[in-house]
């Protein structure tokens, strides 16, 4: 993971993936890749529960976009705890003891809302485009070139939104959350918690976190390149998973497909 605000030492660790993995294995053990898994599963289960009780119809994509963004924002403290678990050294605390309180949620809520809206839009926009093209084309056969053009439009719009909005918003969220790491938790890769003096501790009358503009401005270009390289690989993996899901769902009977709630994946 890229340090929130790297100094020379942290940059030397995170510049090379193999060096970073060696460092993490030394300080977090062999299972370092699965740090935060309990928190991630807790977040997913909470979201599945909230999706199941949603007062929405399955066809209302805009309503689902808003609802998904709202519940992601409400659950943002779980994401903050996940960030803290990943970036800090192993702690004797249980994973649920790392969840911050209401005051932390108030601090993270603005960027959490921004990130949630971007992520939800990137999920539901392709579904909306697919529905639009399907209703426009109807049941009659369409030219192969038209179908290919529609697929390209869906893919390009998804990629553009992901790299122009989702990825930057997530980076800012992680950096803001990292700046809120409690003093008693030692980072696994050292970073400047003050963000060049811009983070003022709560005991001194400050907010105890970096603001959204500073979180992005202090994200150095070299670090951005490494971050977006990692994000691009993750995005490619997501695309592969989507195609595998489509190949799995298409052969199913209609009743089975209609029973599947795709909002669980959002």
Q: Is residue 16 part of a domain?
A: yes
Identify the pLDDT of residue 1.
Answer: 43
Identify the pLDDT of residue 107.
Answer: 93
Q: Is residue 264 part of a domain?
A: no
Identify the pLDDT of residue 238.
Answer: 84
Q: Which residues contact 56 (CB under 8 A, 6 or more apart)?
A: 63, 64, 67
Identify the pLDDT of residue 260.
Answer: 47
Query: What pLDDT, in 10s, does the model give residues 165-214?
Result: 999 999 999 999 998 988 888 888 877 776 666 666 554 556 667 888 88
Query: What pLDDT, in 10s, does the model give residues 239-249?
Result: 888 778 767 76
Q: Is residue 253 part of a domain?
A: no
Q: Which residues of the chain have pLDDT under 50?
A: 1-6, 8, 203, 254-260
Identify the pLDDT of residue 223.
Answer: 86
Please state the domain count of the chain.
Answer: 1
Q: Is residue 252 part of a domain?
A: no
Q: Is residue 243 part of a domain?
A: no
Q: Is residue 83 part of a domain?
A: yes
Question: Residue 83 sits in which domain range?
Answer: 8-237
Identify the pLDDT of residue 228.
Answer: 94
Q: Is residue 29 part of a domain?
A: yes
């Amino acid at each position: 993971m890229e340090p929130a605000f790297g100094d020379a030492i942290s940059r030397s660790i995170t510049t090379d993936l193999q060096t970073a993995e060696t460092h993490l294995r030394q300080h977090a053990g062999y299972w370092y890749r699965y740090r935060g898994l309990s928190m991630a599963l807790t977040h997913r289960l909470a979201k599945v529960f909230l999706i199941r009780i949603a007062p929405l119809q399955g066809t209302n994509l805009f309503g689902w976009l808003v609802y998904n963004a709202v519940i992601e924002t409400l659950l943002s403290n779980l994401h903050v705890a996940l960030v803290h678990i990943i970036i800090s050294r192993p702690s004797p605390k249980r994973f649920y003891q790392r969840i911050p309180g209401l005051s932390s949620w108030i601090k993270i809520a603005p960027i959490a809302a921004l990130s949630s809206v971007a992520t939800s839009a990137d999920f539901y926009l392709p579904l909306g485009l697919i529905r639009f093209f399907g209703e426009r084309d109807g049941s009659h056969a369409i030219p192969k070139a038209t179908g290919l053009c529609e697929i390209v439009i869906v893919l390009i719009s998804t990629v553009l939104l992901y790299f122009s909005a989702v990825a930057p918003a997530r980076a800012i969220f992680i950096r803001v959350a990292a700046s809120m790491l409690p003093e008693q938790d030692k980072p696994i890769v050292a970073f400047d918690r003050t963000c060049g003096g811009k983070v003022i501790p709560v005991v001194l009358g400050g907010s105890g976190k970096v603001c959204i503009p500073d979180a992005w401005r202090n994200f150095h270009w070299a670090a951005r390149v490494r971050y977006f390289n990692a994000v691009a690989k993750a995005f490619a993996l997501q695309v592969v998973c989507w195609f595998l899901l489509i190949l799995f769902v298409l052969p199913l009977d209609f009743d089975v497909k209609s029973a599947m709630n795709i909002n669980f994946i959002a």
